[in-house]
Amino acid sequence: MSNPQPTPNNVTSLADRRLLHETVIDQLRDLIVQGELAPETKLNERVLAERLGTSRTPLREAIKFLASEGLVELLPNRGAVVAPLKPEKMKEVFVVLGALEALAGDLACRNASEADIAEIRALHFHMLAHHAAGELAQYFKYNQQIHSRIMDCAGNATLAASYRSLNEHVKRARYLANLSRERWDKAVQEHGEILDALTRRDGARLQALLRDHLANKLVLVMEALDKRKAEAAR
C-alpha cells in the first residue's frame, strides 16, 4: 500500500521530463492534504527522502516551497513539521477564502460564457445525483469542481492561485468532517441557489451566497476540530 514501485526509483523512467523536485512537491503536498502526514508530524529528511525515492536535496527544496504555501513550518535547526491544524487558523483561512470566492463569483457573473455556466450546471446535477445516492466522496469531488470552475470563470489566474493555495488548508480538514444528513441537505440547497444566481448573473447575490456557504462550512469544520480535540484529550 505504501510503496508500489515497479521500477527502481533512481532510474529515470522513459521520457520522464518532469523534474524530481517538482514531483516531490506534488507528492509531499498530497501526503499532507490527504492526512497521511498528520498535522505536526516531524518531517525527517532521511526517512521521507527514502520514502519518496529521492535524495535529501530535492526534498529540502520541496519543503521550502510548501513552507511558502503554509503547509509546512520551518523550525530553525530543527527541520520542518506539517503545519498544525489550529481552529484559529481555520477561521482565518475561511474568512479570506470567503472574500476570494465572493470576488470570484462577482467576476464570474460578468465573464462566464453561457457554455461555462452550462458546464457548471452539468456538474451541479452530477453532484445532486451523488447526494441522492449518499455517495459522499463523489459528492465532494463534484462540489470541489463546481467551486473550482466558478473560480476559473472569474478569469483571474492570480486569484485562482491564491484560492487554491489557501484551499489546500481546508481540504486537510475536510477528511475529518463527518456531515450529518441535515447539514448535507442544507449545503446542497445552498448550491442550488448558487447556480441560480450564477445563471441570472446576479453578482451581488452570488457573492453573498458564496460567503454564507463558506461560513456554514466553517461551522462544520470547527465542530469536527473540536470533536477531534475532545477525542485527543481523553
Residue 171 CB coordination number (10 Å): 15
Pairwise CA distance, residues 219 & 216, whole Å: 5
Q: Is 66 in the site for its own copies (CB under 8 A)?
A: yes
215 touches its own copies by CB under 8 A:
no
Residue span binding its own copies (CB under 8 A) among the ranges 7-15, 42-50, 69-77, 110-118:
69-77
Binding span for its own copies by CB under 8 A among 34-42, 90-98, 120-128, 198-206:
90-98
Residues 37-46: contacts with CB under 8 Å, at least 24 apart: 37/82, 38/82, 39/82, 39/83, 39/84, 39/85, 39/172, 40/81, 40/82, 40/84, 41/81, 41/82, 42/79, 42/80, 42/81, 43/72, 43/79, 43/80, 43/81, 43/82, 44/79, 45/79
Judged by CB under 8 A, does residue 222 bind its own copies?
no
118 vs 161, beta carbon nearer its own copies: 161
| 171: partner contacted, choices its own copies, DNA, none (Cβ within 5-8 A by kind) | none
Positions that interact with DNA (CB under 7 A): 10, 12, 19-21, 42-46, 54-58, 60-61, 74-80
CB of 185 to its own copies, least distance (A): 30
Question: Cα–Cα distance between 186 and 200 in angstroms, integer?
Answer: 21
The binding site for its own copies (CB under 8 A) comprises 17-19, 21-22, 57, 60-62, 64-70, 74, 76-77, 89, 92-93, 95-96, 99-100, 102-103, 107, 156-159, 161-162, 166
